[in-house]
Amino acid sequence: MAEGKFISYLRVSTAKQGRSGLGLEAQREAILQYLNGGGWQLLAEHVEIESGKHDDRPQLQAALDDCRRRGATLLIAKLDRLSRDAHFLLGLQKSNVDFVAVDMPQANFLTVGVLALLAQQEREAISARTKAALAAAKARGQKLGKPENLTQVARLTGAAQASKARTAKADDFAARIRPLVTECLQELGTLTAVAQRLNADGVLTARGKTGSWTARAVKNLLER
């Protein structure tokens, strides 16, 4: 049975999955099944909505910081889903934070180190194959697509989708951090004091930065 303090980290690849709960609910269910029974505390949940193609993992960093600050163990629902993500694995290995992967409970820092090397090798192989395929297509005289060749409708559609994704990500961050900010405001009384507390505690902003909270940023978050 699980014992101790835990902080969970979940990740889905798209804002649509984040809004619908697709993928997230299965991960939450796996975590709850793991924690079933025992003297445990699930202190917080950090949700990442980010494509595996990108290395930016602000919520992973926030979860690791939270674990260090509160003496908790990081709980991951599906390590195998992230096993090709070299940035995630290396961050986990170097964090010095204890972790448990529900689907791979035998995993340890050595395991994730090996997985990280394999993931990096696979990424490099995919990149090499993609470049070779593009070069071959160009040699055959095939015209490759360029952003400037997109229609106006396509450009506007792409911009709108990117804006929706950013908004969804910001809304998700605000929903998760708002209870903490509200609690601090009730205790401290002013937005400036709340910003100072968040900076002192190393709480990350939506952009994944520490020490960057301001009274205006706190106000904007509470009003989302």
- Domain of residue 154 covers 149-222
Q: Is 164 part of a structural domain of the chain?
A: yes
* 197 and 153 both lie in a single domain: yes
Exactly one of 8, 13, 51, 127 is catalytic; name it. 13
Convert the pLDDT of each residue in 105-126 to its tens digit: 777 777 776 766 665 666 667 6
Residue 23, domain member (yes or no): yes
Residues 73, 168 share a domain = no
Tell me which residue of 69, 73, 122, 72 sits closest to 102, measured CA to CA: 73
Predicted confidence at residue 52, as pLDDT, reads 53
Give residue-wise pLDDT tens across range 132-174: 777 777 777 766 555 555 566 555 666 777 777 778 788 888 8
Strand order through the sheet with 4-12:
40-49, 4-12, 73-76, 99-101
Query: Is residue 123 assigned to a domain?
Result: no
Name the helix (H) or strand (E) containing 114.
Answer: helix 109-139
Residue 203 covered by a domain = yes
The answer as to whether 126 is a domain residue is no
For residue 187, give both structure tokens: 């205790």
Is 13 a residue of the active site?
yes
Query: What six digits make up the tokens of 80?
Result: 């195998």
Stretch 10-22: mean pLDDT: 57
Residues 96 and 158 in one domain: no
Q: What is the rounded distance in angstroms from the CA atom of residue 114 to the CA atom of residue 62? A: 24
Which of 113, 132, 164 is the endpoint of a domain? 113
Q: What is the pTM of this model?
A: 0.48
Q: If we measure between CA atoms, which residue out of 195, 188, 183 comes closest to residue 219?
A: 195
Q: 113, 129, 160 — which closes off a domain?
A: 113
**Number of separate domains in the chain:** 2
**The two three-digit tokens of residue 189, written as one number:** 């009384």
CATH number at residue 63: 3.40.50.1390
If asked whether residues 9 and 101 sit together in one domain, one would say yes
Residue 104 shares a structural domain with residue 52: yes
For residues 183 and 106, membership in a common domain is answered with no
- Please answer whether residues 5 and 41 qualify as being in contact, where contact means their C-beta atoms are separated by less than 8 angstroms: yes
Q: Are residues 8 and 100 in the same domain?
A: yes
